[in-house]
Amino acid sequence: MRALLNFAIKNYYYLLFFVLQAACVLLMVKNRSLQSTHIINSANAMSAKTYEMVANTKEYLSLRDENQRLSDENTRLKNIMKSSAYEFINLKDFVRNDTLYKQKYTYIAAKIINNSTNLRSNYLTLNVGRAQGIAHDMSIINTEGIVGIVKDVSENYCSALSVLHKDVKINCKLKRDGSYGPLNWEKDDDYSSATLTDIPIHAKFKVGDTVVTSALSSIFPEGIMVGTVSHFERKSGDAFFTVKINLATNFRKVNHVYVVKNFFKAEQDSLEVNSQKHDKDDK
């Protein structure tokens, strides 16, 4: 108590100043409408700014939950889109106990928890596995375009070959022209580019044209964004163009993705294997 009194006596002029200042502000608020309005408006502005800062902080802290919610919602929407997930069945040709549209693809939301971009063989690790319905050779996409192909699967995780992997080949096509060829990641490509080969010399396209996945792929749905043409050339003696592609997916920032399951893939693969086997037997 003595220390408090000594402090008050020693600093009485500061205390007196604050008391008189508060009294002046109170008198101004009560007796002068103009000053009162300015003071109240200033107080309201400070309060509003404080509330805005608090709201922005809460919004930032909830980004993780919001991203997950948006990912789940996008997955639900993708799974009901007839244009990308359903195969049209011509009922004039045959009759079955089925609907007009038969579901071909389903989408499973996932998050990349490990990713490399600076190697010749780049891999991804996802936080979904066998328990979530993931299997070997499923495709991986995001909102920008193609990402990779599932390789190994455990109970709750899977590893995948990135598009930036020397052994990955994806059937793609020029959207304008329809000409198709395999997409590869060559030695001279970086994390933002890839190479489309075997494009016929009669193909009509130009720099900036869009490249998408083709119907020849049993892994990726047709029409998924791949990238745009950056330049192309016809090497001496080749009967095809070699086309450099600017990839649509930013592999340095890829995070939330979708794993795509093709319900018809096993049937298609089995048929193709049997056809190749019969060809060998005939020889």
The more confident residue out of 73 and 183 is 183
Q: Which domains does the chain have, with CATH numbers?
A: 2-60 (no CATH), 81-166+253-262 (2.40.10.340), 170-247 (2.40.10.350)
What average pLDDT does the chain have? 79
Would you state the pLDDT for residue 142?
92
Would you state the pLDDT for residue 275?
73
Confidence of residue 97 (pLDDT cuts 50, 70, 90): very low
The more confident residue out of 24 and 90 is 24
Task: Output the DSSP codes for 7-51.
Answer: HHHHTHHHHHHHHHHHHHHHHHHHH-HHHHHHHHHHHHHHHHHHH
Of 117, 135, 114, 141, nearest to 125 by C-alpha is 114
Q: Cα separation of 160 and 147, whole Å?
A: 9
26-35, 57-66, 215-224: segment of lowest average pLDDT: 26-35
Average pLDDT over residues 81-94: 47
Would you state the pLDDT for residue 239?
86
| DSSP collapsed to 3 states, 122-154 | EEEEECCCHHHCCCCCCEEECCCCEEEEEEEEC
Would you state the pLDDT for residue 258?
92
Q: Cα separation of 184 and 244, whole Å?
A: 10
Of 141, 214, 142, nearest to 171 by C-alpha is 214
- What is the sign, positive or negative, of the torsion defined by CA atoms of 194, 163, 216, 272? positive
Q: pTM for the full model? A: 0.68
Confidence of residue 95 (pLDDT cuts 50, 70, 90): very low
* Contact (CB, 8 A) for 185 and 165: yes
Q: Cα separation of 124 and 161, whole Å?
A: 6
Helix, strand or coil for residue 90?
coil
Average pLDDT over residues 60-83: 64
Would you state the pLDDT for residue 223?
92
Confidence of residue 117 (pLDDT cuts 50, 70, 90): very high
